[in-house]
Structure 1
Amino acid sequence: MIAPIIALGAVALAVLAVVNALVFLRPSRSGDGDNDASVSILIPARNEEQRINLCLAYASAQSALVKEILVYDDQSSDATAGIVEAWEKIDRRIRLIRGDTLPAGWHGKPHACYRLAENATGTWLLFIDADVRLRSGAVERLLATAAHHSCTLLSAWPAIAMKSLAETLLMPMLNFYVFTLFPSPLQLASNAPRYALAHGACLLCHRDTYWAIGGHSTVRNELFEDTALARHWRASGQRALCCDGQQICTVRMYSGVREIWRGFEKNFYPGFRRKWLFVFVMAIHVAVFTVPFIGLLVSPTLPFAVAASSVLVARGALALRFREPVWPSVMHPIAELFLIALGISSFLRWHSRRGVEWKGRRYRSSTVEEGAR
C-alpha cells in the first residue's frame, strides 16, 4: 500500500518540476525597460580575493546605465580591499567602502547590503555576490523584466558554473530541491508572501521602494535574507518576482565537496521557517526521492519503477531548462543521499552549542529561531 502512495507522490512532484521547467519566468529582451534609469551595482565582500577580480571585470563591462559599482569590504582578512583599490584606478565608477564593526542583532550580509544601499545614488539597486559574473546586457534585461511585470524587486536565478566532478554531480540538486516544491506559476498569479522566491546572488530593487519598506533592516538577522526580503516586499504591497537568470548571470557557488558541504550546511536548516516544515520536506526526500531506488534493488515492483522514473524525468527536465549536464540525473540516488545527510548535519549543527562557522563568524540555533519570528 505504501509503494503506490510513494509513486503517486513522485508523479505529482515530477509534474510540478516539468511545469516549472516550462513556465518559470523568462527575462524580457533588453531595450524594453527604462533607458533613463541609473543603476548602482552593490557587492558585499568578505574574504573574496579569489573571486572579486572577475566579478568587477564583468560588472565594469556593463553599459552606461550603471552609474556606480560599490564594494563593501566586510572586514576582510585577505587581499580583497587591495584588489578593489586597484580597480578604482581602472574604472571611476568603482568605489571601495570599508566595513565597520557588525552591530548587535545583525548578520553580516544584510548589514553589508544595508550599508551599500546607504551609499548608493542610483534609482535602482542591483545587489550581486562577489562570485557573480554578469552577462553582457544583464542590467538592461533586468530593468526590462522589472518594467514589463511592474515589479520593484526582481531576482535572477543564476546559471550555476560547475567545473569539478563533485560540483557537476551535486550542485544540480539545488535546482531539483527548489523546483520540485516551489510552484513558480503562482508567483505571477498571486502576490502572497508565501509565493516569494529570490536568489541573493542577483537582486534588483527600486531604491525608493527599498527605503520605504525598510530595506535589509527588516531581515537583519536572517541567513536566508534574499527570500525573506522578497516575502517582506510582498507583505508591504509591492510586487516581487524571481526570473530565470541563465542569460543574466553565472555563479560558481562552491568548488569541491568540502566547500559544498560547509556552504550548504550553514544554510540548509535555516532556510525553513519552522522545524516541522524541515521534517516534512526531509521526509519527502527520503520517502519519495530515495526509497524508490532502494526498493528497485530490494524488491522490484511497478510502483517503485514509476516513482524512480518520475524522479529521473524531473531531474532531466530541470537539467535541460537550466542548461546543466543531463547525465548526473542517473546518479540521483548518490546525490540525494548526500543531500539528506547534509540536511541532518545542518539540523544537528544548528541545535548544538557549536553551531556553524562561516567566514570567521559563528551562528547558532537562537539565530534561526529569532529570524523565523
Structure 2
Amino acid sequence: MMKKSVKKVMLPVMAAAMAVSFGTLVSAEDETISLTVWGAEEDQTLLKELTDNFQAAYPDQTFDIQIGVESESTAKDTVLTDVEAAADVYAFADDQITDLIKAGALLKLDDYAEVLQMAGKTLDDVKDANVEGSIDAATIDGGLYAFPRAADNGYFLYYDASVLSEEDVASWSSLLEAADAAGKKVGMTLASGWYNASFFYGAGFTTALNDDGTTAIDWNGTSADGYTGVDVVKGMLAISGSPAFMAIADGDISNQLASGNLVACVSGTWDAMTAQEVFGDGYAATKLPTFTVGDQEVQQGSVAGYKYIGVNGYSENSGWAVLLADYLSNEEAQQKFFDERESGPSNKNVGASDAIKENIALSALAQQSEYAQAQKVGGKYWDPSQTFGELIAQGTLAADDDAAIQEALDNLVEGVTASVE
C-alpha cells in the first residue's frame, strides 16, 4: 500500500499532536511510532545504542524502531528498488544524493524547520555545526536534503610499517616491489568508478554533473595537464599487472586484510580498526602513492566525500523520522561514531579535538585531501566505470595495444555520457 504524502498529512498532524515541555517533545496521542533505520553492518551496535538513547529522550512516547543492515555505498541501489518500502531513516554517501532526490527518497529538510524547532534546534544550527563542504554537497537548488554525519568518505593508503618504509610507499612501483620481496600483496578496488577515477583525477582529467542529469567526462582525450587517457590506463595496467597487486571486490577490503595476505591497501576510515588489528605495531597510513603516466610520476588523486543521514520522502512518521535523523547525526552522535568506529566527523567541534588530529587514519585522510575532489556524476556513470575497471583488474587490456585501450575509453565515455531516460 502506498504511504501517505509526507508534506500534506504528517507535518500538520505532528504540529497539532506534539508540544514542547522543558525541551522534551511529547506526543498527545497514545500511539506507537514505528520507524526503520538502515545503516552499515559495522555500525549496528552503535545505531542500537543511539536509537535507545533517542527513545529515552522522549519517555512519554512509545516507539518501535527496527534497525537493518545497508551499506552507505549501496544505499541508493537498495532504496530505489522500492522507495516506498525502504527505511524511514537511512545512511548514504554523498554521490547518491541527486538520484535519491529525483526518486522522492529524500525529504527537503527546509520543509521540516518547525519540527526541528520543537526540539529546540533550527536548520541554521545544523548548518553552522558542520563543515561547509558537507552542507554544500547536500544542498540542491537552495534546499538541504540530509543531515551530515561524517566527512571521512575518502580513501588513502594503509600499510604495515614493520615491512614497508616511508620511501617504499611513496610510489606504486616501489610499493609493489617491496611487497613482492616480502611475499605480500597490495590491495585496491578497481571495478568501481569511485576508486578508479583516482588515477584520472590525479592526471588532471575531470567529471562533472550537467543540469540535465547527464555526466561530462573527458577520460578518452587529453587532460588539462597534458596527459592522455591512454597513458593513464597504461599506468594503471602496470600496477594491476604486478604479481604483488590484488584487485579486490568493492566492500571486501576488510576481509582481505583479515586474511593476512595484504601488506598495504587503499581504503578509508571504515577499515581503520581492521587494519590496526592486522598490522599491530606496524599500523600506519599515508596519502596515496604516485604512479607513472608516460615518463612522469603523477600523484594519485582521490574522491573527497561525505556521509549523511536522510529521511525517506515516503515515511509515514516523517516528523519523528526527521528528529531521529538529526539525533543520529548530531554532535554527540558524531563523537560516539569517532570514539567507537574512528569515523571522521563533519561536526566542527568534534573535528577540532586533539584525538581527531592524532588519529593515524584521519591524519592520512587529511594528507590525501590536498589531492582529492568531490565527485559529481550522474547515474549513468557507475555501470560503465565499473565495467571499465574490471577490464583493468582482469588484465583484459594489453599495455602495448593503444588502439584497444582507446576503444575501451571511448566506450566508457559513450556509456557514461548517455542521456538520462
- Tell me the TM-score normalized by structure 2: 0.24
Which is greater in Rg? 2
